Amino acid sequence: MKTMKAAVVHRPMHWSVDDVPVPAVPVGGMLLRVRACGLCGSDLRTLRSGHKKITFPWILGHEICGDVVELGEGYRGAWKVGRRLSVGPLAYDPSDPQTVAGRPELATDVREIGQAWHGGLAEFIAIPREAVELGNIVSAPEGLDPEYAAVVEPASSVVHAQERAAVGLGDVVLVMGAGPIGCLHVAVARARGASKVFLADVNAERLAAAEVFEPDATLDVNSPEFATDVTRLSGGLGPSVVVTAAPSGAAQVTAVEIARKGGRVVLFGGLPHDSSTPDVDMNRVHYHNLDLIGVSIFAPRHFRTALELIADGRIPVKKLVTHRFPLAEFDTGARIALDGRALKVVFLP
C-alpha cells in the first residue's frame, strides 16, 4: 500500500503530520499531486473549534493547486495527466432549481472539498466525480506559481460580493476588516474601477500589514474621529459601498451608520451563531434607502474571473501570501496563522 504525508487533525487544537494511505482514484474523478494548499479562515475556525460537517480525524484544505497524476475509470473531464490545475472546492447540485436557473451558489446542497471529502493538506488528493463535473476546476495559467494558483478560492467569493454590490467607476469603498479577505476586497475594488478605497480595522498591526495593498487611507475603527474621518475622506457624503470583511456584528452596525444615502452595505463576514443578531438601525436602512447585500460562496464564473485577475496581477497575491512552509512544518505554520501573525499561510507538500 502506497502512503503519503498528510496533516491530520485529530480533534480541535490537536494535529500531526502522519503517513496515511494515498487515496484511491475515484470513479469519474482524478488523483492530483498537491503542489500548494492555502490555509483559509474557515480552516482556522475548524482547527480551533471543529466543524459540524466534519468528523475527526480529518484532512483539511480547500485552497488547492495540483498536477493530475491519474484519471479514474469513466472519467469524462477535459484534463489529462500532467495538467496543473487550480481547484475550487465547491460541487453544486445539478438538479437544484437555483443551479438550473444559473445561480448554483444558491443551491441547497453545495458540497465542499475539505468537508464532504478530504482536503489538500497532503501530498495527494482525490478529486471526486462531482467536483470534476459540477465544480470549479480550471487549468492554471502557464507560469503562475502554484502557491498563487492555490489561493483563487477566497478571491472568488470577493469577486462575487463586489459583483452583487455593482462596485464600479466613481464608487467610494470602505472595507472594514484588514485581514486577508479585507485586503482582497481592496484589490478587487481597485480592479473594478472604484475611485477611492479605504481600509479600517480595530487592530493597528493588521492595518500596518495591509498597507502593502495601498488603500487610499487606513482608519482605526476605535478612534473617536472614525466616523468624521470617513465622511471627510469621502467628500462629505460617506462611502457609497461599505464591506464588512470581518465576523463582527459591531462592524455591521457601524457600516449602516456611515454609508451614504442610497449606499450599499455588503455583509461579507459571517457572525458567530450566538451573536448573529446585531442591533442594526433598520429605520436608517429604510429612510436612507440603503441596500443590505448578504454574500456567501461563489459560482464558477467568479472563480474563473478571480483566476484571471490573479494571473494578470490585478489581484496582487504576492502581497497576500506572507508565509510558506513545507507540509512537515504544518504545526508551525498553523500556529502562526492562528495567532494572526500572517495574512496568508500556504503549504507546499
Residue 21: per-residue pLDDT: 98
Which residue type, as a one-letter code, is found at position 147?
Answer: E
CA angle 20, 22, 26 (to 5 degrees): 135
Residue 270: per-residue pLDDT: 87
pLDDT tens track, the chain, 349 positions:
899 999 999 999 999 999 999 999 999 999 999 999 999 999 999 999 999 999 999 999 999 999 999 999 999 989 999 999 999 999 999 999 999 999 999 999 999 999 999 999 999 999 999 999 988 999 999 999 999 999 999 999 999 999 999 999 999 999 999 999 999 999 999 999 999 999 999 999 999 999 999 999 999 999 999 999 999 999 999 999 999 999 999 999 999 999 999 999 999 988 888 889 999 999 999 999 999 999 999 999 999 999 999 999 999 999 999 999 999 999 999 999 999 999 999 999 9
Question: Is 3.40.50.720 the CATH classification of the domain at 156-294?
Answer: yes
Write the CA distances from 54 to 51, 177, 260, 322, integer angstroms: 5, 28, 42, 28
- Residue 279, phi then psi, degrees to nearest 5: -85, 70
Element spanning 226, H or E: helix 226-233
Cis peptide preceding 247, ω within 30 of 0: no
Name the DSSP class of 211.
G
Residue 47: per-residue pLDDT: 97
Q: Structurally, what CATH architecture does the domain formed by 3-150+316-348 represent?
A: Alpha-Beta Complex (3.90)
CA angle 15, 19, 22 (to 5 degrees): 115
The residue whose grid cell reads 490555509 is 39
| Extents of the domains making up the chain | 3-150+316-348, 156-294
Write the CA distances from 20 to 53, 232, 279, integer angstroms: 22, 58, 48
Distance of CA 71 to the CA centre of its chain: 28
Residue 161 gets the label, from left (phi > 0), alpha (psi -120 to 50) or beta, of: alpha
Give CA–CA dist 64/151, Å, rounded: 7
Residue 269: per-residue pLDDT: 87
Q: Is 251 in contact with 225 (CB distance < 8 Å)?
A: no
Which residue(s) pair with 31 in the sheet?
Answer: 70, 126
| Strand intervals (E) in 100-195 | 110-112, 124-127, 135-139, 172-176
Number of Cβ within 10 Å of residue 152's Cβ equals 33
Give CA–CA dist 269/255, Å, rounded: 12
Closest CA to 244 of 255, 234, 236: 255
Write the CA distances from 298 to 54, 90, 152, 332, integer angstroms: 21, 9, 11, 31
**264-267/241-244 β-pairing:** parallel
Closest CA to 246 of 197, 188, 302, 175: 175
Give CA–CA dist 227/258, Å, rounded: 7
